[in-house]
Amino acid sequence: MQSHELLRELFQRCSPKQVAARLGLSLSMIYKWAEPADATAGSGSANPLDRVDALIQCSNDPRLVQWICQRAGGFFIQNPKTANPHPSYLIPATNEIVQEFADLLAVVADAAHDNQITQKESQQIRERWEKLKSVTETFVACCEEGNFRTLKEKHAGGARSGVHKPAPGGRSALGLPNPPEPPGTAPGLTR
């Protein structure tokens, strides 16, 4: 669906007069947004959706979309780009989801141990939650497409990017207790 088509449908449920008044724009400008842009015919106008799309394309920063989704009461999870099936990577991928969930639970438990959650703790919980959603969505999308190249490339590249490093005081960089080191593992490379 083109942006002007979406806006045309929107204006059937939401008055263009109300939109014009709310945005402080002319009614004719609002109506032009619902027309296909054609510079030679003088019709249409670069509408806000096209402008946001251009901003996303030129910045290549997913935080723009995440911000819009948050304002609408939701969240954004980017679809993975996958090709060439490699089902042998299902086990590491499922293990990663389980580990991300465990990490989230650890952050929640650590934050709630004193029966209150600070703003900083809330942000840590949000970060772990967003990571879990992203890892899980990548896995689900690969399953739906029957294509696990993304997972293969990720696991072929080595250890996960979210490795917990020991910090002074027996805590990880996230403020979590450091897990015990498995036998034969170099210090600081747990996970």
166 — pLDDT class (breaks 50, 70, 90): very low
pLDDT for 171:
41
What's the pLDDT tens digit per position in 47-103?
Answer: 999 999 999 999 988 889 989 998 998 888 777 665 545 455 677 778 888 998 999
| HEC per residue, the chain | CCHHHHHHHHHHHCCHHHHHHHHCCCHHHHHHHCCCCECCCCECCCCHHHHHHHHHHHHCCCHHHHHHHHHCCCCCCCCCCCCCCCHHHHHHHHHHHHHHHHHHHHHHHHHHCCCCCCHHHHHHHHHHHHHHHHHHHHHHHHHHHCCCHHHHHHHHCCCCCCCCCEECCCEECCCCECCCCCCCCCCCCCC
pLDDT at 185 over 90: no
Separation CA 55–CA 61 (nearest Å): 9
pTM of the model: 0.45
pLDDT at 160 over 50: no
Separation CA 121–CA 104 (nearest Å): 12
pLDDT for 11:
93
Question: Quick check: 80 and 33 in contact, CB under 8 A?
Answer: no
pLDDT for 180:
44
pLDDT for 125:
94
Tell me what percent of the residues of the chain surpass a pLDDT of 90. 39
Nearest to 142 by CA among 84, 65, 66: 84
Does residue 146 or residue 116 have the better pLDDT?
A: 116
Among 36-45, 59-68, 82-91, 178-187, name the one with the lowest average pLDDT: 178-187
155 — pLDDT class (breaks 50, 70, 90): low
